[in-house]
Structure 1
């Protein structure tokens, strides 16, 4: 490949001046967009009356909390075993909630995909139902189910199932709609019906993608299960809230360390599994 020197570049610029001419319209749009973003940011700070002078004081206070949290100390072996049991409960909530949401969302996603169900009314109702469920935050679902079934991990599982049902339904339906149509058309051309095309031409393409999304959300739901545990849905979040309430900051740091280790381990394992699934799909 011949390197472009200044003479070649000048000759190309002379033949195609419209390409090398600076686009002032694009530059003005970029500057206007950045200025509008900064203006909205400043307007939000002023409108919400955010006290920026508290930021420096808050940083010093955070440093004081960090000093109180070091070194991490469970206090006793009995409390350490209780924390490990609570961590296992959190992982169970995340796993069962993710699995339940994915199993319920899969048939709903088929109804919400245009290339599976052509009926506009069914498609519209399925989409809007998923939007309605997804519009409620996981913490709100946890508060609702704690009031319905009481305190404990069952409420946390139901909260994650409801939250993931809406999210998985949207992600699964979009993955199904983005699949290649040629395998489906080939099966139908060979004499198969629409269900055969979906079963043998569409699902083999999207199943690895759906599994990858489920693995990612299992890692994400581990953090969510910790948060919903604070409102009474069980797990290590409940232990964390109790230790913060009694100002046992070294025990708080120990619990946070357990959560970080668990999330990191799950993230590592799920990443390896996702790459393995994607790699097998690429080879296939």
Structure 2
């Protein structure tokens, strides 16, 4: 008599798989509650902000009118006009550079206080990290308004606003870069009798410095855009010229200035991206 092994029906297998994949009741309730809160918040925001398809359609029509006013772009014909615009653009880039540089220099020694691999005291690390968060929590434009009130109009207020904000941002990034370093070089340096300063110099910093420099370059690129906004509130630079043209309804000149800002940001982004790649991986590309 031939023995034929029996197989469970496919319906039973599918039912067992579905049962295994079914989430517990508590987890399903948590997901449903989270989705309900998000949908409720979205609905409230749409109501509170007076969102409606009619208003959106009307706003798009007015936006089209503004764009039509900007075209064709204005082209300056005299060197005096170009000198003023290019001078404002250079002032904006210099403001971003000085603010980033000062912030990076100040943030470098402060970042040691927030790194677990360097400072063993939890209370000191916690106080340092909360100080970084406080500096980072205040928006750059608010700092600019405060410094304009204290030091007057001009790029100095913008430089100080960017520098203070960068201290909080870069100090946090630097401390995290040092914490994420490998422990093997540290153990190797300590095994040959190196002290704390020598361990930092020869084991931690060589691993963290590429990340630190890359972060500083990225922040410089971002601060070029931020310094444009700071110029609108009185910190000088190309933002002041842009705000002046918009207030005077010189939309064609405003579009030309926006186009120059975009070109400058694109050039800086390309250059900083190339430098970041050279810093992170300085080895030359292999030739086929």
Q: TM-score range by the shorter chain?
A: 0.7 to 0.9
Cα contact 1:109–1:169 (8 A) shared by 2: yes
Deviates more, 1:114-123 or 1:259-268: 114-123
- Aligned residue for 2:60? 59
Cα contact 1:130–1:165 (8 A) shared by 2: yes
Structure 2 residue runs without a partner (length 5+): 1-9
Instruction: Supply the RMSD in Å over aligned alpha carbons.
Output: 2.5
- Aligned residue for 1:5? none
| 1:282–1:74 Cα change, 3 Å | closer
1:270 aligns to 2:269 (yes or no): no
CA distance in 2, matches of 1:49, 1:207: 45
Shift of residue 51 of structure 1?
A: 3.5
The aligned runs of 1:117-128 (5 Å cut-off) are: 117-128=119-130
- Aligned residue for 2:112? 110
SS at match of 2:281: helix
Output one character per residue of 1:32-86: Cα deviation in whole Å (capped at 9) or x when no partner. 644542332112222x242323211110000000000011104442222211110
Cα contact 1:208–1:281 (8 A) shared by 2: no
User: Which structure has the greater CA radius of gyration?
Assistant: 2
| 1:28–1:74 Cα change, 3 Å | farther
CA distance in 2, matches of 1:85, 1:268: 22
Shift of residue 23 of structure 1?
A: 3.9
CA distance in 1, matches of 2:115, 2:39: 39
- Aligned residue for 1:219? 221
- Aligned residue for 1:200? 202
Cα contact 1:230–1:241 (8 A) shared by 2: yes
CA distance in 1, matches of 2:276, 2:17: 45
The aligned runs of 1:246-265 (5 Å cut-off) are: 246-265=248-267
The match for 1:151 among 143, 146, 153 is 153
Output one character per residue of 1:147-168: Cα deviation in whole Å (capped at 9) or x when no partner. 1111111111111001111111
CA distance in 1, matches of 2:283, 2:131: 31
SS at match of 1:191: coil
CA distance in 1, matches of 2:150, 2:284: 46
Shift of residue 122 of structure 1?
A: 2.4
- Aligned residue for 1:177? 179
Number of residue equivalences: 270
Q: Runs of 4 or more off by more than 6 Å in structure 1? A: 17-20, 26-29
CA distance in 1, matches of 2:218, 2:191: 37
| 1:105–1:61 Cα change, 3 Å | same
- Aligned residue for 1:3? none
Output one character per residue of 1:232-283: Cα deviation in whole Å (capped at 9) or x when no partner. 1011000001001100000000000000000011111111111121213899
The aligned runs of 1:59-98 (5 Å cut-off) are: 59-77=60-78, 78-98=80-100
Cα contact 1:74–1:80 (8 A) shared by 2: no
| 1:120–1:281 Cα change, 3 Å | farther
- Aligned residue for 1:50? 50
CA distance in 1, matches of 2:112, 2:272: 25
